[in-house]
Structure 1
Amino acid sequence: MDNRPVKMNEHTNLLQLEEHIYPLVDVDKPNVFRNLFPYDEIPKIAFNDRIVPHNMPEQIWITDTTFRDGQQSRAPYSTEQIVKIYDYFHRLGGPNGIIRQCEFFLYSKKDRDAVYKCMERGYRFPEVTSWIRANKKDFELVKEIGMKETGILVSCSDYHIFYKMKMTRKQAMEHYLSIVRECLETGISPRCHLEDITRSDIFGFVIPFCVELMKLMEEYRIPIKVRACDTMGYGVNYAGAVIPRSVQGIIYGLTTHAGVPSELIEWHGHNDFYKAVSNSTTAWLYGASGVNCSLFGIGERTGNTPLEAMVFEYAQLRGTLDGMDTTVITEMAEYFEKEIDYHIPSRTPFVGRNFNVTRAGIHADGLLKNEEIYNIFDTGKFLNRPALVAVSNTSGLAGIAHWINTYYKLKDQRQVDKNSALVAKVKEWVDAEYDSGRVTVITDNELVVVITNACKELGIVL
Structure 2
Amino acid sequence: MSAEKIQIFDTTLRDGEQVPGCKLNKKQKLEIAAKLDDLGVDVIEAGFPISSPGDFDAVNAISKLVKNATVCGLTRANKKDIEAAARALEYAVKPRIHTGIGTSDSHIIHKFNSNKEAIIERAVEAVAYAKSFVDDVEFYAEDAGRTDNAYLAKVCEEVIKAGATVLNIPDTTGYCLPYEYGNKIKYLKDNVPGIENVIISCHNHNDLGLATANAVAGAINGARQIECTINGIGERAGNTALEEIVMVFKQHKELNLYTDIDTRMLTELSQFTSETMGMIVQPNKAIVGSNAFAHSSGIHQDGVIKNRETYEIIDPAEVGVNESSIILTARSGRSALAYRLKNIGFEVTKNELDVLYEQFLEVADAKKEVVKEDLERLMYQFNQTVETKFA
TM range (shorter): 0.7 to 0.9
**Correspondence for 2:18:** 72
How many residues end up aligned between the 2 structures?
364
- 2:303 is aligned, of 339, 348, 366, to 366
User: Is 1:63 aligned with 2:15?
Assistant: no
**Correspondence for 2:284:** 347
**Correspondence for 1:176:** 123
Task: Tell me the secondary structure at the aligned position of residue 235 of structure 2.
Answer: coil
User: Is 1:135 aligned with 2:78?
Assistant: yes
Contact 2:142 2:170 in 1 (8 A): yes
Contact 1:268 1:280 in 2 (8 A): yes
- 1:261 is aligned, of 196, 207, 214, to 196
**Correspondence for 2:170:** 229
**Correspondence for 2:294:** 357
Task: Tell me the secondary structure at the aligned position of residue 267 of structure 2.
Answer: helix
Contact 1:139 1:188 in 2 (8 A): no
Contact 2:130 2:137 in 1 (8 A): yes
Q: Which amino acid aligns with 2:177?
A: V
Q: Which has the higher helix share?
A: 2
User: Is 1:249 aligned with 2:190?
Assistant: no
Unaligned runs of 5+ in 2: 379-391
Q: Quote the offset at 1:216 in angstroms.
A: 1.8
1:260-283 alpha-carbon deviations (Å, 9 max, x no partner): 236421011111222211111111
Distance in 2 of aligned mates of 1:80 and 1:175: 36
Distance in 2 of aligned mates of 1:395 and 1:306: 32
Q: How does 1:328-407 map to 2 (within 5 A)?
A: 328-393=265-330, 395=332, 399-400=336-337, 402-403=339-340
Contact 2:140 2:170 in 1 (8 A): yes
Q: Quote the offset at 1:398 in angstroms.
A: 6.3
User: Is 1:210 aligned with 2:161?
Assistant: no
Distance in 1 of aligned mates of 2:301 and 2:138: 49
1:316-346 alpha-carbon deviations (Å, 9 max, x no partner): 3446866532121111122234454321110
Distance in 1 of aligned mates of 2:111 and 2:153: 21
User: Is 1:416 aligned with 2:344?
Assistant: yes
**Correspondence for 1:327:** 264
Higher alpha-carbon deviation: 187-196 or 355-364: 187-196
**Correspondence for 2:365:** 438
Higher alpha-carbon deviation: 283-292 or 372-381: 372-381
1:409-436 alpha-carbon deviations (Å, 9 max, x no partner): xxxxxx533249xxx9xx989947x537
**Correspondence for 1:192:** 139
Contact 2:154 2:192 in 1 (8 A): yes
Distance in 2 of aligned mates of 1:357 and 1:437: 17
Contact 1:198 1:230 in 2 (8 A): yes
Task: Tell me the secondary structure at the aligned position of residue 114 of structure 1.
Answer: helix
**Correspondence for 1:294:** 229
Distance in 1 of aligned mates of 2:297 and 2:242: 30
- 1:118 is aligned, of 43, 57, 62, to 62
Distance in 1 of aligned mates of 2:341 and 2:37: 33
Task: Tell me the secondary structure at the aligned position of residue 279 of structure 2.
Answer: coil
Q: Quote the offset at 1:355 in angstroms.
A: 1.1
Contact 2:43 2:71 in 1 (8 A): no
Q: Quote the offset at 1:188 in angstroms.
A: 5.5
- 1:271 is aligned, of 191, 195, 206, to 206
Query: Normalising to structure 1: TM-score of the pair?
Result: 0.70
Q: 1:87 to 1:403 in 2, by over 3 A?
A: farther
Contact 1:401 1:417 in 2 (8 A): no
Distance in 2 of aligned mates of 1:368 and 1:63: 38
Q: Quote the offset at 1:252 in angstroms.
A: 2.2
Q: Quote the offset at 1:308 in angstroms.
A: 0.5
1:384-423 alpha-carbon deviations (Å, 9 max, x no partner): 2411111124657863574588xxxxxxxxx533249xxx
Q: Which amino acid aligns with 1:304?
A: N
Q: 1:233 to 1:359 in 2, by over 3 A?
A: same
Task: Tell me the secondary structure at the aligned position of residue 140 of structure 1.
Answer: helix
Contact 2:171 2:203 in 1 (8 A): yes
Q: Quote the offset at 1:356 in angstroms.
A: 1.2
Query: Normalising to structure 2: TM-score of the pair?
Result: 0.82
Distance in 2 of aligned mates of 1:401 and 1:76: 47
Contact 2:267 2:288 in 1 (8 A): yes
Contact 1:57 1:288 in 2 (8 A): no
1:118-175 alpha-carbon deviations (Å, 9 max, x no partner): 23334222x1100023332332222223153211231010001011111111222223
Contact 2:202 2:225 in 1 (8 A): yes
Distance in 1 of aligned mates of 2:79 and 2:135: 11
Task: Tell me the secondary structure at the aligned position of residue 88 of structure 1.
Answer: helix
Q: 1:398 to 1:80 in 2, by over 3 A?
A: farther
Q: 1:448 to 1:82 in 2, by over 3 A?
A: farther
% identity of equivalent residues: 25
Distance in 1 of aligned mates of 2:100 and 2:118: 15
Q: 1:185 to 1:430 in 2, by over 3 A?
A: farther
Q: Which amino acid aligns with 2:362?
A: D
